[in-house]
Structure 1
Amino acid sequence: MNWTLADAVNNARFMMELLAACVVFLLPLKKRRRFLLRLIPGLVICTLPALLYIPSTGALLIVTKYLPLLVLAAALVFFCCDVSFYDAVYCVLCAYATQHFAYSLLVACAYNTDYYASTWYANWLSPVYFLCYGGTYVLFYFLFARGLPEGGRYGSDARQSMLSVVLVLPFALFFSLVAKMWFYEEGGRVFLVCQFYAMLCCFFVLWVQTSQRKRTRLQAELEVQRQLRAKQQEQYELSRENIALINRKCHDLKHQVAALRTVRGEEAREASLREIERSVMIYDAIVKTGNEVLDTVLTEKSLLCEREHITMTCVADGSKLDFMDAVDLYTIFGNALDNAIESVTAIPDPERRVIAVTVYTRSSLLLIQLENYYEQPLTFADGLPVTTKGQNGFHGFGMKSIQYTAEKYGGIMTVHAEDHLFILRVSIPMSGQ
């Protein structure tokens, strides 16, 4: 058999269409450094095997052609985007569902014209071909691709990736191949029904994935909002109780001050002064930074520090945080302060039981910094401390939540530990705010 260039290009059509769909779904993902220098050569390298390889026919197509090309496309996504390999597999499966939808649409449109021999079907510049594939890819980008990831990642695990494989591949590969082998040669409407069924399955899988992710995010946001509202209610109750306490204490202050004049012993006078000071210091725990959410978190944590005999200092301009979502603020400061408090609590030296919180801007950069001492040695993995709760309280989940939230706003989180001083810094660009 003579293998011409036209045959090679036609054989590679599936891979080219799949890679184009992959580009649609990887656009919203977090890119690796030098993304274009990775993507352009990667597209060429992934296309070459499809150009050079003469596939088998019939059912062997699934094993000898489609599955290897899908794996190759997943490797390309992983190479170009800063995602897990499970995310890369998930991206390729979504891309394949999009490509197969466009393919089935084109086949349905060309069915009565004998689509294998039709000139306009084979011509990539044909208006019908362009409308079927170009229209599908643009539509699916706005319907699905840009809404599936959050913070540039899908967050898929092995179970979700395998579930996507089970949902997509049987319908898109097996049933399509069966329809082509059995029903097309016989003619009739069953073949068209199979194409419309494949389109429906591909669309339904993507729609379910998008809806499920939106629902999961909404539930998580509602849960954090519920917790935030509860914390705000607690802050109100604390403030009300503290004000009432201070009012009572202030009522007694004039009597206590008058009594001081009659106290002659130095120790007794010092004890009375400490009692007065302790009575009014609780008012200092009510933090006012200019941001209601930050005030809520800092007040809650400062009262906890007061009970644990921890000194917490705060220099923060809360108005600089107004562009951030309340849930994200609570995630960053809540997790960071919880870790810091638990670490400092294990320090016996009262002079080192200190936490410093700073929020400021430098040029167009928002900087959030928390500093605290720690006792036990720390070990790091992927730039994050991995010590357990029983040691220092630096929890991987909390740190990853802070890192993920910073990346959501195009920022970064860095940690530095040296000479028993732990520094967590979140840097977020404000140029787009």
Structure 2
Amino acid sequence: MQEQLAHQEIYYQDVISRQDESRALWHDIKKYMLAMENLVSKNDQSEAQNQLTTLKNKFSNLEQLVYTGNSIADGILNYGSNKAQSLGISINFDLWLDTELNISPVDLYIIIGNTMDNAIEACDAFPAGQKQSISCTLRQKNHVLLYEISNPIPQVSVKKAGDIHGYGLENVKECVNRNNGFISVKTENDTFCVSITLNV
């Protein structure tokens, strides 16, 4: 519960920070546009391109916040996304949720938190400069929630082969069974994949 609260606090602080950034950006956007128009009129294409790149980067930073409308899921996903980003690992999200899910927040943390931590740990085991990406799907259709996360398997790991995802996975399986769900864990083409279906 303390970890859940910490994740939510980080998420809400991130939301507030990005709202402030967004307001500041919209306040200054006309200045950026006028500056670029002036540079183009003076045929200073190089500096105009620099200004455009700066503006794109500012918008890109705002887009990094994961938003599904469900605050619990958002807190978990953003925590994992920020953790991965700090290690040079990208997560490709495919998300669609209702604002309310009929599942315990603690169970949601166990399922998503453990599997995402394991995927990040696996990608971080790759050599520097070769960090891999993670695919994460969390989609709800009617009362069915599909969660799937996959990552490449490192050839060399601090853990024994096949053991990189051992930590917490048994807790995940127990949690899925407690919620009358289905879990599939498989390795194929050097990719480790966990697929979970829950009735929510």
Counterpart amino acid of residue 358 in structure 1: T
Q: How many residues align?
A: 194
Q: Is the 8 A contact 2:98 2:140 kept in 1?
A: no
Match of 1:318 in 2: 97
Distance 1:354 1:316 in 2: 16
Counterpart of 1:386, as a letter, is D
Stretches of structure 1 lacking an aligned partner (at least 5 in a row): 1-224, 388-393
Alignment correspondent of 2:12: 236
| Greater per-residue helix proportion | 1
Please list every run of 5 or more consecutive structure 2 residues that lacks an aligned counterpart in the other structure: none
- Aligned alpha-carbon RMSD (Å): 3.0
What is the DSSP-based 3-state SS (H/G/I as helix, E as strand, rest coil) of the residue aligned with 1:230? helix
The alignment's TM-score, normalised by the length of structure 1, stands at: 0.40
Q: Does 1:412 align with 2:182?
A: yes
The structure, 1 or 2, with the larger RCO (C-alpha pairs under 8 Å, 6+ apart) is: 2
Does residue 288 (structure 1) correspond to residue 73 (structure 2)? The answer is: no
Closer, same or farther: CA 344–277 of 1 in aligned 2, 3 Å: farther
The 3-state SS of whatever aligns with 2:174 is helix
Structure 1 residues 295, 358: closer, same or farther in 2, change over 3 A?
same
**How much has 1:361 moved relative to structure 2?**
5.4
Deviation at 1:293, TM superposition (A): 0.9
Partner of 2:121: 342
Superposed counterparts of 1:352-363, under 5 Å: 353-360=132-139
* Range 308-317 or range 285-294, more displaced: 308-317
Q: TM-score with structure 2 length normalisation?
A: 0.80
Q: Closer, same or farther in 2 for the Cα pair 1:227/1:420, shift >3 Å? A: same
Q: What is the deviation of 1:339?
A: 1.6
Q: 2:147 maps to which residue?
A: 368
Aligned residues with identical type, % of pairs: 22
1:320 Cα shift?
8.8
- Counterpart for residue 25 of structure 2: 249
The change in CA–CA distance for 1:422 and 1:243 in structure 2 (over 3 A counts) is same
Aligned-partner residue type, residue 285 of structure 1: Q
Structure with greater Cα Rg: 1
Map residues 361-400 of structure 1 onto 2, 5 A cutoff: 366-376=145-155, 385-387=162-164, 394=165, 396-400=166-170
Matching residue's letter, 2:53: R
- Secondary structure at the counterpart of residue 98 of structure 2: helix
> 1:16-27 counterparts in 2 under 5 A?
none
**180, 189, 195: which is aligned to 1:425?**
195
Structure 1 counterpart of 2:32, one-letter code: Q
How much has 1:256 moved relative to structure 2?
2.0
More strand by share: 2
Instruction: Tell me what 1:333 maps to.
Output: 112
The Cα of 1:318 is off from its aligned counterpart by 2.5
One-letter amino acid of the structure 2 residue matched with residue 403 of structure 1: K
* Deviation per residue, 1:14-52 (Å, 9 max, x gap): xxxxxxxxxxxxxxxxxxxxxxxxxxxxxxxxxxxxxxx
Q: Distance in 2 between matches of 1:360 and 1:417?
A: 22
Alignment of 1:47-86 (within 5 A): none
How far the C-alpha of 1:332 sits from its partner, in A, is 0.9
Q: CA separation in 1, counterparts of 2:99 and 2:24?
A: 36
Maintained 8 Å contact 1:356/1:370 = yes
